[in-house]
Structure 1
Amino acid sequence: MTASSMQVDPSINKSSDVQLPWVEKYRPQRLEDLVAHEEIINIITNLIDSDNLPHLLLYGPPGTGKTSTIVAAAKRMYGKSYSGMTLELNASDARGIDVVRNEIKEFAGTKQLFNNGVKLIILDEADAMTNDAQFALRRVIEKYTKNARFCLICNYVSKIIPALQSRCTRFRFAPLAQNQIQSRLEEVAKAENVALSEDGMKAVLRLSGGDMRRVLNLLQSTAMSHKEVDENNVYLTSGAPLPRDIDEILNCLLNETMQTAFTNITGMCSGKGYALSDILHDLAAKLIDMKLDSAPLAKLLNGMSQVEHRLASGTDERIQAASLVGVFVETRQLLTI
């Protein structure tokens, strides 16, 4: 959901702009505004212009522009007739078999009196559909191909049944590159008069993970809670561990006794509100950058992955913090033998 130039939806009046999340306020309105995934955009544009749009399956991580792309494509196809020719359903709507049999079949089976061409049915977060609904959708797609085109959007393509995948042209949306995010971040900050420092911008990009939605939400929340968007304020707003704190934790794990390291880590987690899973994520990145020998690095990462797995199962953080320290102490002892 990046854009080459600032485009705000003209249908939104100025009084409501203040209340809108920046994610929606600055959502690209045209295919030309999207600068990420140029090959995919070019293919979809050519298919639309040649009136040869197939059923689509757009998949990839959150915040990579899937919904923005198909909404912009629909506006290119229909212009002012967009609302009458497009049906959008999200996972927040009822997504069972009754919706497929009733709402989708009714929309796909009727033609607009004053509009020519096929309709577009957008099923966002399609991986949340029940299996029964997906099986029912197979026949609907085939039966109403003359009247409608379907676009399925999901994060996990493995949750879409193979029968639906085979009926669609698939496009994978990869995480956005930092240079693509940075240009959009600077435009939004300038438009909203945000005091964005250089280290603050790097911090937002570091925490983005290629997710434009997360970038704009983090920028907005930081700007609303602090006068300046700098590195410290970005990390305080996001709740992510500060880089200097990660360096301190890593130093304890590599050099201090087990008791001292455990006390420091648990004290930092409780005192600064850090989640142990976030610490593990940043520690892994630091260890890889340190270019350790293969054997100790593999042992550390394997042990940390087991700690993270246990954390995901809902185990006690203090016990897992002790386990994390134990992984490092054990690895250190093996290196001294």
Structure 2
Amino acid sequence: MSETAPQGREVWTEKYRPESLAEVAGHESIVGRLENYIARNELPHLLFAGPAGVGKTTCAVAIAKEIFGEQWEANFLELNASDQRGIDVVRDRIKSFARSSFGGFDYRIIFLDEADALTSDAQSALRRTMEQFSHNTRFILSCNYSSKIIDPIQSRCTVFRFSPLADDAIAGQLRSIADTEGIALTEDGIEALIYAAGGDMRTAVNDLQAAGVLDDTVDEDAVFAIASSARPEAIEEMVSLAIDGDFTAARSICERLLTDEGISGDDIIDQLHRTVWEYDLDDQQAVALMDRIGEADYRLTIGANERVQLEAMLASLALEQ
């Protein structure tokens, strides 16, 4: 942010994006291996797999900056496969970039984000392109699910699996940003941001900015007022009431979360899945709840009504008592 820019005008996820691999938090082992490739000038094709917001794109850009310096943008092509899924993208844009002349470096880098959204034909074309231009082009692919990448591409890449970021890594970054921006960030505020993010640094930073714009003090109340998450105690109470057989009270909490607080059914299911083992449930109750969560998640994925499915899940738990 420039000194004259209004407070909050710049998106903090970009403002505080690490400029180098050394600044990437929470993936020390991955960063160390990538730095060794760069130091030895032996960068292979790379496949980054993992959930959103954990540093895949940041690492790809940082690699380009460390290799190419100020000329990194001219030697780095970023494409988003979810927007451009067809085989023409592979045949045209990627080949055009790989064929274009450049000087001063041994190779260029093509970064294909969300590569698991490519069609099978596009992936087959990409495999052939990777072979054809391996002498002057390195490919970095990122995806959420490596299983959706065809084996011939995986076998040509060094695979790095990014896990959700640890709480300490997210907390450290949030404290640093809050200090720089002059925001008072309370400990319960940090815990709420970490809980709502679920290992996603981008979500945590976005929520911090959204809460910080409204108030110079970011606490638990401020976070849950803007985050797409329910308070964990509300979710736990809803489940406990259903397991105790009080379907009406459990349904009332579900209704409040969906209607009054605007939490989506998908987010409620995600929170349940992340925290079910933290509840005071015996093994049989936990297993039953996980079974119902899986069924509700599947039905929501194929377009079922979220209110009906959540209430059906609670009713099923209550009927077992």
TM-score, shorter chain, exceeding 0.5 = yes
Equivalent pairs counted in the alignment come to 320
Once residues 108 and 253 of structure 2 are traced to their aligned partners in structure 1, the CA distance between those partners, rounded to angstroms, is 60
| Pick aligned residue for 1:30 from 6, 20, 41 | 20
Of 56-65 and 287-296, more deviation after overlay is shown by: 287-296
Within 5 Å, give how 1:132-171 maps onto structure 2.
132-171=121-160
Please state if 1:174 is matched with 2:163: yes
Of the three residues 2, 10, 17, the one matched with 1:20 is 10
- Within 1, Cα distance between the matches of 2:270 and 2:124? 38
- RMSD of aligned Cα (Å): 2.4
For 2:35, the equivalent position in structure 1 comes to 45
Q: CA deviation at 1:96?
A: 2.2
Structure 2: give runs of 5+ residues left out of the alignment: none
- 2:81 counterpart of 1:91: yes
- TM-superposed CA distance for 1:214, in Å, is 0.7
Question: For residue 215 of structure 1, what is the aligned residue in structure 2?
Answer: 204
Aligned-partner Cα distance in 2 for 1:281–1:87:
34
More displaced stretch, 86-95 vs 183-192: 86-95
SS at match of 1:57: strand
1:14 Cα deviation (Å)? 4.5
Partner of 2:289: 300
Task: Please name the residue that 1:319 is paired with.
Answer: 308
Q: Is the 8 A contact 2:242 2:315 kept in 1?
A: no
More deviation in 208-217 or 254-263? 254-263
Give the Å deviation of 1:185: 0.7
User: Which is further off, 178-187 or 249-258?
Assistant: 249-258
Structure 2 counterpart SS, 1:223 = helix
- Among 84, 89, 95, the residue aligned to 1:105: 95
Q: For each residue in 1:216-275, what CA deviation from the matched residue of structure 2 results, as whole angstroms up to 9, or x when unmatched?
A: 011111112334211112112113222343344245324464344434543553233333
Residue of structure 1 aligned with 2:111, choices 122, 136, 150:
122
- 1:20 is paired with a residue whose SS is coil
1:132-176: CA deviation from partner (whole Å, max 9, x where unpaired): 221112222112111111111111112211111111111111111
1:72 corresponds to which residue?
62
> Does residue 195 of structure 2 align to residue 206 of structure 1?
yes
SS in 2 for 1:52: coil
The 1:267/1:87 distance shift into structure 2, 3 A limit, reads closer
Partner SS for 2:184: coil
* 1:38–1:285 Cα change, 3 Å: closer
In structure 2, relative to structure 1, the CA distance for the partners of 1:101 and 1:204 (3 Å cut) is same
Cα distance in structure 2, aligned partners of 1:285 and 1:167: 34
Cα pair 1:63 1:213 within 8 Å, conserved: yes
- TM-score, normalised relative to structure 2: 0.89
CA distance, structure 1, for counterparts of residue 60 and residue 293 of structure 2: 39
SS where residue 218 of structure 2 aligns?
Answer: coil
Alpha-carbon contact 1:58-1:170 (below 8 Å) kept: yes
Distance 1:152-1:327 versus aligned 2 partners, 3 A rule: same
Cα distance between partner residues in 1 of 2:315 and 2:113: 44
**Preserved CA contact (<8 Å) 1:204 1:215:** yes
CA distance in 2: counterparts of 1:264 and 1:302, whole angstroms: 21
Query: Structure 2: how far apart are the matches of 1:304 and 1:265?
Result: 14
Structure with bigger gyration radius: 1
- Structure 1, unmatched stretches of 5+, are 1-11, 333-337
Between the aligned partners of 1:321 and 1:101, the Cα distance in structure 2 is 45
Q: CA deviation at 1:103?
A: 2.2
Identity %: 38
Alignment partner of 1:55 is 2:45: yes
Q: Name the CA shift for 1:26/1:255 in 2 (closer, same or farther; >3 Å).
A: same
Distance across 2 between alignment mates of 1:170 and 1:286? 29
